[in-house]
Amino acid sequence: MKLKVIYLVVFTSLLLAPFATADVRHKINIPDVLGYKTLKCDFHMHTVFSDGQVWPTVRVDEAWREGLDAISITDHIEYQPHKQDVPTNHGRSYEIALRLAKERNILLIKGAEITRETPPGHFNTLFVEDINLLDTEEFLDAVKAANNQGCFVFWNHPGWKPEFKGWFDIHTTLYENIWVHGIEVVNGDTYYPEAHKWCLEKNLTMMGNSDIHQPIVGSEITPENHRPMTLVFAKEKSIKALREALVAGRTTVWFKNQLIGRPNYLHAIFKKAVQIDKPYLRRGDTIWFEVTNNSDIDIQVQSLGQGGLGKLTLPANAITMIKTKVNSKAKRAELRCRITNFLVAPDKGLPVKLNVSLK
């Protein structure tokens, strides 16, 4: 009798096996802020339909496993080294990936990359309707056609050719016509401080993307080791809300163990991520208290006052015990600090105040 039960269990398991999945999705701990949802996004990646090495559905699975909310497959329009094996079919990678993206609850944005010599360089177009209309001989005609479709257009890896590093007349033309709306401050493993500065000066949206071509092999995700991404602060998880947020410039870039963005968003993330408890011990002018970091970022703190905290790191998803001196008669301690890996400008960290209640 026991043997029959064992056979039945094994047989049932084999029947159900095709319907079971064992995929695991990484959860990214970066808080929602200012009443918005923090969407984790990568708007620059390639497949075999241009110069990538994977089929479009692979990009969706990679993004799902790594915890992303939205992606765009932006295959080159003009550069297709595999076209002898994969014929030119603009937008086909989007069509192939769309069904799986819906099943994985990933927002898939239809996109393409306008690929020209530098200057002007490469430009991604998001929310495109007909990519074929962008396949033109003249660069400005292509960008104008993207804007006529209501695309969000951003400049890719602006410093990837050092000999042509800079802002040229053609970029001024794009900017003055409002034909470019953002710049990649980060592309892959590279941070472009000049692009960061241009975004601040010209009120352009900050972007950070992987520009991935090869397959993403499995490796542990850590504060230093993760794909670069654009954090978009949207009213909801929808393509319409995502588009509105990008146009409004509500983004921050997560690059290695750094956040790069405007002060209001960085401060909001810090405030939501960091919990400061009341001191659990006080002896005269010395207090001991705990700080919890509820984010995936190792937050690097540098004291701006004398004495104080000095330099310390609040490890990701961990509790740090802090011992410091305060005024023995004070009811509250205000510790002025700079978060050195929250960049509000090139080489400039975010100033914050750590308020510790002493009551």
Q: Which long-range contacts (CB under 8 A, 24 or more apart) does 239-248 make?
A: 239/107, 239/109, 239/127, 242/39, 242/41, 242/70, 242/107, 242/109, 243/126, 243/127, 243/152, 245/36, 245/39, 246/126, 246/152, 246/181, 246/182, 246/205, 247/152, 247/181, 247/205
- Once rounded to an integer, what is the mean pLDDT over residues 116-145? 97
Q: What is the pLDDT of residues 265-302, one digit of tens each?
A: 999 999 999 999 999 999 988 999 999 999 999 999 99
- Once rounded to an integer, what is the mean pLDDT over residues 84-112? 95
268, part of any domain: no
3-state secondary structure of 9: helix
Residues 34 and 118 both lie in one domain? yes
How many C-beta neighbours within 10 Å does residue 347 have?
8
Residues 208 and 286 both lie in one domain? no
The domain that contains 327 carries what CATH number? 2.60.40
Residues 229 and 129 both lie in one domain? yes
13, part of any domain: no
Does 64 or 159 have the greater pLDDT score?
64
Question: What residues make up the domain containing 304?
Answer: 273-357
The domain that contains 218 carries what CATH number? 3.20.20.140
- Once rounded to an integer, what is the mean pLDDT over residues 39-57? 97
Q: Domains in the chain: how many in total? A: 2
What gap in Å lies between CA 70 and CA 229, rounded to an integer? Answer: 10
How many C-beta neighbours within 10 Å does residue 103 have?
10
Residues 311 and 196 both lie in one domain? no
328, part of any domain: yes
Q: 226, 261, 296: which is the final residue of a domain?
A: 261
21, part of any domain: no
Residues 97 and 76 both lie in one domain? yes
How would you classify the pairing of strands 286-293 and 311-314? unpaired
Residues 321 and 202 both lie in one domain? no
What gap in Å lies between CA 70 and CA 107, rounded to an integer? Answer: 4
16, part of any domain: no
3-state secondary structure of 32: coil
4, part of any domain: no
Residues 178 and 316 both lie in one domain? no
3-state secondary structure of 108: strand
Give Cα 359 distance to the centre of its chain.
40
Residue 339 tokens, joined: 């978060």
Residues 284 and 186 both lie in one domain? no
Residue in 132, 135, 52, 133 with CA at minimum distance from that of residue 97: 52
Identify the pLDDT of residue 307.
55
What gap in Å lies between CA 127 and CA 32, rounded to an integer? Answer: 24
CB-CB contact of 184 with 195 (8 Å): yes
Q: Does 330 score more than 50 pLDDT?
A: yes
CB-CB contact of 191 with 185 (8 Å): yes
pLDDT band at residue 332 under the 50/70/90 scheme:
confident
Residues 225 and 306 both lie in one domain? no
Mean pLDDT lowest for which of 40-54, 157-171, 246-260?
Answer: 157-171
What gap in Å lies between CA 273 and CA 257, rounded to an integer? Answer: 15
Q: What percent of the chain has pLDDT over 70?
A: 93
Q: 261, 284, 303: which is the final residue of a domain?
A: 261
What gap in Å lies between CA 276 and CA 251, rounded to an integer? Answer: 26
Residues 211 and 253 both lie in one domain? yes
Q: 234, 261, 288: which is the final residue of a domain?
A: 261
3-state secondary structure of 244: helix
Q: Does 132 score more than 60 pLDDT?
A: yes
CB-CB contact of 168 with 189 (8 Å): no
Residue in 52, 158, 65 with CA at minimum distance from that of residue 104: 65
318 Cβ contact list (under 8 Å, min separation 6): 292, 293
Residues 282 and 182 both lie in one domain? no
Is the peptide bond prior to 120 cis by the omega test (within 30 degrees of 0)? Answer: yes
- Paired with 39 in beta bridges are 232
CB-CB contact of 120 with 171 (8 Å): yes
10, part of any domain: no
296, part of any domain: yes
Residues 287 and 344 both lie in one domain? yes
Burial level of 346, CB count in 10 A (0-12/13-18/19+)? middle
Q: Does 12 score more than 60 pLDDT?
A: no
